[in-house]
Amino acid sequence: MSHPISAYDEAYARAAADPEGFWGEAAGAIDWATSWDRVLDDRNPPFYRWFAGAQVNACHNCLDRHVDAGRGEQAALVYDSPVTGTVRRFSYRELRDRAARAAGGLRALGVAKGDRVIIYMPMVPEAIIAMLACARIGAIHSVVFGGFASHELAARIDDARPKVILSASCGIEPARVVPYKPLLDRAIEMARHKPSHCVILQRPQAGASMIEGRDLDWAAWEETAEPAPCVTVDATDPLYVLYTSGTTGQPKGIVRDTGGYLVALAWSMRAVYGVAPGEVFWAASDVGWVVGHSYICYGPLLNGNTTILFEGKPVGTPDAATYWRVIERHGVRAMFTAPTAIRAIKQQDPEGRLAGDFDLGGFATLFLAGERGDPDTVKWAERTLGVPVIDHWWQTETGWPITANYRGLGFFPVKYGSPGKPAPGYDVRVVDEACREVAPGQPGAIVIRLPLPPGCLPTLWGHDQAFRDKYLRDFPGCYKTDDAGFVDEDGYVFVMSRTDDVINVAGHRLSTGALEEVLGGHRDVAECAVFGVADPLKGQVPLGLVVLKAGVSRPQGEIVAELVARVRDEVGPVAAFKRAVVVSRLPKTRSGKILRGTMQKIADGAAWTMPATIDDPAILDEIAEALGKMETT
């Protein structure tokens, strides 16, 4: 049976057949100071480069050109902070002027094109201003989560070797204030490399002591600075270095080139997210993650959108209606968050009644990424919001979606459990251990054939060989995603788990994602995690941790028995699923990724370390206690 060719099908085919023509046309959305010699420079594989010979400035494209086009009074950034009770709006003109002054302040401290600046800040407007200020003068920024552990920050200082660090006195969590300055001072003390200056934003919730000669007060530093003009850089120059979460020892710094990234983001704002200039886009993430770079800062501003910077949580600041309140207050057109955020809301408000208290008439699409969008969560959000809910998949390394459903290219039907079809430019394949492509529907390692499209990492900061070893060695000619899954007969990609989340039960390979899908479908379960634990007979057996919906009062033993029966019925006895534990919360990173590997080590009695990106360290004590009780019963 033939199907009509869709706008998506046409775009994907064009990008595959003529990538230089496709991306050269997409590059028309960007203001270039100098045009390119070649769209794709493939002379030194596997180190491919996009728009070689071109020159560009990211800050100009995000701010100045919109002001020059007469749209300077449009809101560029809205800062909504329920933890401080603050809402502030910044026009494109105001944001440009502040970025220019901060850029001048950096230049006065000796920062020049190619120098590195570490940004160690909470979710405040100055974090975005800092990123754009670096881009304005061609400095390379590296954002590190505010509140990150000192030894982790020290490792990044030594790897990036920043001339200046921009920070703040504190961050604010729902139940506590986190002083940053002692962590920063300790990190600098530990690091071999010493920055020449630190600029500290003093927040009223907690002041910071200053070191004379090194530390500067942000307000005075910015106010007295001479505005700096935009400095053009090569399209192949780095815009930023972003260290992946949980790195220990030698940090893994993802390099993001400037030109290809701008082109990919500009294309994705229209084609993937379907938002027009002037509309409001909200990525409920953190500037410390790639989502914050791509879709709080650069992507929306490139596209002339109003972007939301949210300092709060999906629940508890003050309640489970916070997201719907922000959407109504600011007229959000499209939103991007993690499935774990929606599960947290669903746990507090299982029937989704709170959304009915708000006018969401202008809201068009909810996008999910960061963890697998399990069907139960996606369906709940669809019922609650009455809009399309799109699970899509990408990585820090790629910088923009690998797969999606395409608001700007005409939706194709959703298949629950799939994050859609590959974006134009991505040649996604599923292969076995010998890099042989497997049949549709068969599981394997998900890889992307080289070259990767614009916007993806060209290498690791200072470590070309590590880039080869980590991503390119195991599957020749391909980029290894470290994800496992399958592609069905219709071309939908199903990302079931990280490759190290596939467990081996008596020789049978089982996806933890598939088991979580079964548990998550139980009427009383808000969210869950499955991981393998050591078993002397079968090698590994699956263990499930489940969080129940608010208001569930049935005996936990009864619920656990039903969960075991569900897995037996839907997956089969081969899964050997016999154990589940009810807990109040799951341990997660700040971006919402569940720490399955850490829980596995705890369950196996193996040595483990506190993950640097964990959202709440205390929860692991609860998990350890729950697992200990399970072993004694």
Please give the helix or strand (H or E) that residue 539 lies within, else none.
Answer: strand 539-548
- pLDDT digits over 224-260, tens only? 999 999 999 999 999 999 998 543 456 789 999 999 9
Q: What is the pLDDT of residue 506?
A: 60
Residues forming a β-bridge with 178: 171
Q: What is the pLDDT of residue 431?
A: 95
Q: What is the pLDDT of residue 568?
A: 83
Q: What is the pLDDT of residue 247?
A: 38
Q: What is the pLDDT of residue 616?
A: 80
Confidence class of residue 218 from pLDDT cuts 50, 70 and 90?
very high
pLDDT at 2 over 50: no
- pLDDT digits over 282-304, tens only? 999 999 999 999 999 999 999 99
Q: What is the pLDDT of residue 305?
A: 98
Average pLDDT, the chain: 93
How much is the average pLDDT of 37-41? 97
Q: What is the pLDDT of residue 246?
A: 41
The rounded distance, in Å, linking the Cα atoms of 522 and 560 is 10
The rounded distance, in Å, linking the Cα atoms of 422 and 419 is 9
Q: Is 580 exposed, middle or buried (0-12, 13-18, 19+ CB in 10 A)?
A: buried
The rounded distance, in Å, linking the Cα atoms of 179 and 161 is 24
The rounded distance, in Å, linking the Cα atoms of 325 and 85 is 13
Q: What is the pLDDT of residue 499?
A: 65
- pLDDT digits over 564-575, tens only? 999 988 877 778
CATH number attached to the domain at 506-632? 3.30.300.30
Domain segments of the chain as ranges:
7-312+392-486, 506-632
Confidence class of residue 1 from pLDDT cuts 50, 70 and 90?
very low
pLDDT at 537 over 90: no
How much is the average pLDDT of 381-407? 97
> Which residues in 72-96 are b (16+ Cβ under 10 Å) and which e?
bebbbbbbbbbbeeeeeebbbbbbb
Number of other residues whose CB lies within 10 A of the CB of residue 3: 8
pLDDT at 385 over 90: yes
pLDDT at 308 over 50: yes
Q: Is 193 exposed, middle or buried (0-12, 13-18, 19+ CB in 10 A)?
A: middle
Strands 75-81 and 86-91: antiparallel
Contact between 113 and 233 under an 8 Å Cβ cutoff? The reply is: yes
Q: What is the pLDDT of residue 596?
A: 87
Using N-to-C axis directions, what is the helix angle for 375-385 and 512-520, rounded to 10°? Answer: 40
CA proximity to 398, closest of 471, 468, 457, 337 = 457
How much is the average pLDDT of 491-506? 78
- pLDDT digits over 140-196, tens only? 999 998 888 888 899 999 999 999 999 999 999 888 899 999 999 999 999 999 999
- pLDDT digits over 543-600, tens only? 999 999 999 999 999 999 999 999 988 877 778 899 999 999 999 887 677 888 888 8
Contact between 240 and 128 under an 8 Å Cβ cutoff? The reply is: no
Q: What is the pLDDT of residue 121?
A: 97
How much is the average pLDDT of 464-477? 95
What is residue 383's three-state secondary structure? helix
Q: What is the pLDDT of residue 52?
A: 98
| Torsion sign over Cα 553, 559, 560, 563 | negative
The rounded distance, in Å, linking the Cα atoms of 98 and 79 is 15
> Taking phi first (over 0 means left), then psi (-120 to 50 degrees means alpha), and beta for anything else, what does residue 455 get?
left
Contacts for 359 with CB less than 8 Å, ≥ 6 apart: 328
Confidence class of residue 462 from pLDDT cuts 50, 70 and 90?
very high
Confidence class of residue 509 from pLDDT cuts 50, 70 and 90?
low
CATH for the 7-312+392-486 domain, from 3.40.50.2000, 3.40.50.12780, 3.40.630.30, 3.30.70.260: 3.40.50.12780
Contact between 510 and 580 under an 8 Å Cβ cutoff? The reply is: no
- The counts of H helices and E strands in the chain are 20, 31
Q: What is the pLDDT of residue 508?
A: 63
Q: Where are the alpha helices (DSSP H) in 191-306?
A: 218-223, 259-271, 290-291, 299-302
DSSP state at residue 218? H
- Phi/psi for 549 (5° steps) reads -65, 150
pLDDT at 451 over 50: yes
How much is the average pLDDT of 621-627? 85
Q: What is the pLDDT of residue 507?
A: 57
The rounded distance, in Å, linking the Cα atoms of 380 and 387 is 11
Q: What is the pLDDT of residue 173?
A: 87
Please give the helix or strand (H or E) that residue 543 lies within, else none.
Answer: strand 539-548
DSSP character string of 316-354: SSS-TTHHHHHHHHHTEEEEEE-HHHHHHHHHH-TT-GG
> Which residues in 207-235 are b (16+ Cβ under 10 Å) and which e?
ebeeeeeebbebeebbeebebbebbbbbb
Q: What is the pLDDT of residue 595?
A: 87
Q: What is the pLDDT of residue 314?
A: 94
